[in-house]
Amino acid sequence: MSDDKSGGVRRLNELTDAAARSLSSSFRAGGQSARVIIVLYVLAALAIVGLLVVGTGGDLGVALGGWVRGAFGTGYNTVQTLSYATPLVLVAIGVAAALKAGVITVGAEGQMLIGATTATIVALWLGPSVPLWLGLPIGAIAGMLGGAAWAYLPGLGRVRWGVNEVLCTLLANYLAISLLNYLLRTVLRNPAGSATPQSAPLPDGFLIPQLPLPARLHIGAILVVVIVLLALWWSRGRGAFLVGVFGQRPLLAARLGLTPARAVVSTMLVSGAASGLAGWMQLAGVDGRLQPGVSAGVGFAGIAVAVLGRGNPLGIVVAAIAYASLTTGATGVQVATGTTPAAIGTVTQGVLLLAAALIVAAPAVRRAARRSASPPALPAVSRHVPPSLPQSDGNRPSENQTDSQMGSTSSTGTDHLDHAGTGIDRDADRHENLESAHGPA
């Protein structure tokens, strides 16, 4: 048997590395030139959805009309779509920061739940005597702290022990659900009694006021706009550049002053805080009380939106509105055709995400086709160096080692960083990437 004892985990870590690097680079490189492939994928995606509509006995034109009406047809529907998009934007901005650092977090769902839970606990504990101007920031901060705490543990596991963050955050979602169910059954149970598990309604001082619009959209949406602007400002600064460098070349980032531990933990905290804030908004702006369905799939959808928006704050806003319109529009499609089920919205979201993943990878396909005759490229330096990897020169560095030595033993540290330099030169493609990214910064 060729497996060593930790084969599964090691293999998974390598996979996560590769995925993280490709995602991180797709966030950096803007317009790729493989337009033909992209158009083909989009057409294929549209064809699949069209086939589904026709297959269930619907008319394509009617369905499309129904979708537009359902999503944007009336003022009410448009606001409804924006209302769906609000938490998506927030989650996606957080997830995008982590993805840029090459950290794949799928834990937004659980972080939202925990954020909403802590906000509920704080609100019910402080009670109705708190005025609105104090209740809103307290709730928001409680939500952010809760979400960040739930993200901190997987981040810590990753930098301390190399625990795979994809699995860890995924499992944390389930733990969050169990915790929430437990609290709703015991401590937080609605004292007035109810058929479904839910908490008592939040005091008025903690509820987010609604905007004066035909449908429900709370003023948290304005905060989201501010956060988008902040993210836009941040994405042009040195911090975002360093995080991006870390996503591609952890060793180079260390040389520029960003240690792996700081990069991973800080981006995880940001994504957790953003998700927790989104959880608070759903709680205090939409539901008004804690329920098990407070996250309602927004966490997973946020990951999709982050990828579709390619990590760019404005791209994320567009992607979130498009994504939300698929949910609201699907109801319109069901009403218009009468036969096509509303679940078509979920399918379309999946197809869209699949198409986006293929589009992001399109340049890689072309590259692979171009050099299919040439020998395979040398493997890039990995964040997790497998123990069985033949170490040709015996001291090829890894980020793990830098992690342990960074700042403690300066002489060996610089020695390894020099090796890091050679590691970069080995891989011409990545070098190019880095340089092109350096331009606008």
Partner 1 sequence: MAPLDFWTIVVAGAFALCAPIIFAGLGEIFLERAGGFNVGIEGMMLVGAVAGVGGSLAGGFWVGLAAGILAGGVLGLLLGLATAWGKADMIIVGIAIGLIGAGLSIALYQVLAPASQGNVTAPVQPAFELSLLAGIPLIGRGLAGAGLLFYLAVLLVAVSWWVLNFTRFGLRLRAVGDDENVAVTRGISPRRFRTIAALIAGALAGLGGAAVSLSSIGTFTPGMTGGAGFIALAVVIIARRQPWTLLVGAFVFALFNSLALLSQTQNLPLPIELYQALPYLATVAVLCVSSRRSWAARRTRIVPA
Q: Of 377-396, which residues contact partner 1 (CB under 8 A)? A: 384-385, 387, 391, 394-395
Residue 187 Cβ, how far from partner 1 at the closest point, in Å? 11
Residue 256 Cβ, how far from partner 1 at the closest point, in Å? 23
Question: Segment 130-169, which members bind partner 1 (CB under 8 A)?
Answer: 157, 160-164, 166-168
Among residues 111, 398, 406, 433, the one that binds partner 1 under rule CB under 8 A: 398
Among residues 88, 270, 295, the alpha carbon closest in space to that of 179 is found at 295
Among residues 255, 251, 258, the alpha carbon closest in space to that of 400 is found at 251
Give, for 182, the enclosing helix (H) or strand (E): helix 165-185
Do residues 107 and 95 make contact, with C-beta atoms less than 8 angstroms apart?
no
The nearer residue to partner 1, 207 or 316, going by C-beta atoms, is 316
**CA 118 to CA 141: how far, in whole Å?**
10
Residues near 64 by Cβ (< 8 Å), separated by ≥ 6? Answer: none
Binding region for partner 1 (CB under 8 A) out of 2-10, 87-95, 132-140, 432-440 = 2-10
438 binds partner 1 (CB under 8 A): no
Map residues 337-376 to x or -, x wherever contact with partner 1 holds by CB under 8 A: ----x-xxxxxxxxx-xx-xxx-xxx-xx--x-------x
Residue 74 Cβ, how far from partner 1 at the closest point, in Å? 25
Question: Segment 98-127, which members bind partner 1 (CB under 8 A)?
Answer: 104, 106
Question: Segment 291-320, which members bind partner 1 (CB under 8 A)?
Answer: 300, 303-304, 307
Question: Segment 39-68, which members bind partner 1 (CB under 8 A)?
Answer: 52, 56
Residue 323 burial by Cβ neighbours in a 10 Å radius (0-12, 13-18, 19+): buried
Structure tokens at 374: 């040439």
Question: Segment 400-419, which members bind partner 1 (CB under 8 A)?
Answer: 400-401, 404-405
**CA 184 to CA 179: how far, in whole Å?**
9
Binding region for partner 1 (CB under 8 A) out of 18-26, 84-92, 122-130, 219-227 = 18-26
Question: Segment 175-204, which members bind partner 1 (CB under 8 A)?
Answer: 175, 178-179, 181-182, 185-186
The nearer residue to partner 1, 42 or 126, going by C-beta atoms, is 42
The nearer residue to partner 1, 1 or 192, going by C-beta atoms, is 1
Residues near 228 by Cβ (< 8 Å), separated by ≥ 6? Answer: 89, 93, 313, 314, 316, 317
Total residues at interface with partner 1 (CB under 8 A):
78
Among residues 219, 81, 213, 217, the alpha carbon closest in space to that of 140 is found at 219
Among residues 118, 152, 133, the alpha carbon closest in space to that of 279 is found at 118
The residue behind tokens 């979920």 is: 346
